Amino acid sequence: MATMTAAQRRERARADYDAFLKACPTNQLLDRISDKWVSLVVSALAPGPLRYSDLSRKIAGVSPKMLTQTLRSLERDGLLSRTVTPSVPVRVDYELTELGRSLSLLLSAVKEWAETHIEEVWEAREQYDADS
């Protein structure tokens, strides 16, 4: 059996990805990006960088702990960057990376779809509940 380089191993693994398998990294990534807070943070950052306090105000209902965890996970995944500007108080800005911007197009579309079709969903729920 021939030895493979790291690039060859990655390419082979890429061909084997199957998001329907729980152990597949793509399944884990889908789990991460389908999180409500992730989609709202990414959508909020789509127009441009925001400070933590701006994000907190913009995203109703997110706790400080959940916002911090979400921002850290997005930074770890390479979807946003965190810039610290030394001042008093320290200024921290969050901005989508190129990878994050590509995701924001999809998540913003899902957010807009939800805002556009919520009344239809409510009607369907009422009909379903009436028929049940």
* Pair type for strands 80-85 and 50-51: unpaired
- Identify the pLDDT of residue 21: 82
pLDDT digits (tens, 9 = 90+) for 13-35: 666 778 888 888 888 889 889 99
Confidence of residue 81 (pLDDT cuts 50, 70, 90): very high
pLDDT digits (tens, 9 = 90+) for 41-72: 999 999 999 999 999 999 999 999 999 999 99
Q: Is pLDDT at 90 greater than 90 in this prediction? A: no
Tell me the whole-structure pTM to 2 decimals. Answer: 0.79
Cβ neighbors of 38 (< 8 A, separation 6 or more) are 32, 70, 73, 74, 107
Instruction: Assign residue 13 a region (left: φ > 0; alpha: ψ between -120 and 50; beta: otherwise).
Output: alpha
Q: Report the share of the chain in percent with pLDDT over 90.
A: 64
Confidence of residue 4 (pLDDT cuts 50, 70, 90): confident
Mind listing the domains of the chain with CATH numbers? Answer: 37-131 (1.10.10.10)
- Identify the pLDDT of residue 15: 64
Helix, strand, or coil (residue 87): coil
- Identify the pLDDT of residue 72: 97
Among 24-28, 48-52, 89-93, 110-114, the range scoring the smallest mean pLDDT is 24-28
